[in-house]
Amino acid sequence: MHSALSLNITCKLSVCPVFELLERGEVLEVPTDTPLSESKAWTYFRDVIQGIEYLHYQRIIHRDIKPSNLLLGEDGCVQIGDFGVCNEFHGSDASLSNTAGTPAFMAPEALNNSTFSGKCGNKLVSR
């Protein structure tokens, strides 16, 4: 199981995810003595990409990745929070036709009321 997901328990007829309490809060709001280094930024970026990759492997689309949903664990790793608008998808090529999430952080193709794929960000990761 990915470190971002602690465990699942069965509650009568549904699955209830149980998440770790991340008291350090949002990554960009954690107080520090020095500015965020490029090396640490790349580490955080890698954590987010690995978290998204894990979710997609589990056939879950988060739909609201934004700074306030990126939380810092006690181990210093970034974890993804707020699964309130996530969706499950089937097949290898998920298409979405409704919008969800925070408009300021949505891909342009998600804002024009047409069917779109979650693959839009794949080309951004080249390093």
- Is 0.75 topped by the overall pTM? no
Q: Say what the pLDDT of residue 20 is.
A: 84
Domain 23-124 CATH assignment equals 1.10.510.10: yes
Positions marked active-site: 64
Angstrom CA distances, 7 to 20, 87, 89, stand at: 9, 19, 21
**What residues contact residue 105 under an 8 Å CB cut-off, 6+ apart?**
64, 65, 66
The per-residue pLDDT string of the chain (127 residues; one tens digit each, 9 = 90 and over) reads: 455 555 555 566 666 677 788 889 999 888 889 998 999 999 999 999 999 999 888 888 888 889 999 999 999 999 999 888 877 787 766 666 666 777 667 766 666 766 666 555 555 555 4
- Boundaries of every domain in the chain: 23-124
**pLDDT value for 68:** 92
- pLDDT score recorded for residue 38: 95
The upper half-sphere exposure of residue 63, i.e. CA atoms within 13 Å in the direction of its Cβ, equals 22
Distance CA 16, CA 6 (A): 11
pLDDT reported for residue 76 = 92
H helix or E strand, kind and range, residue 10: strand 7-11
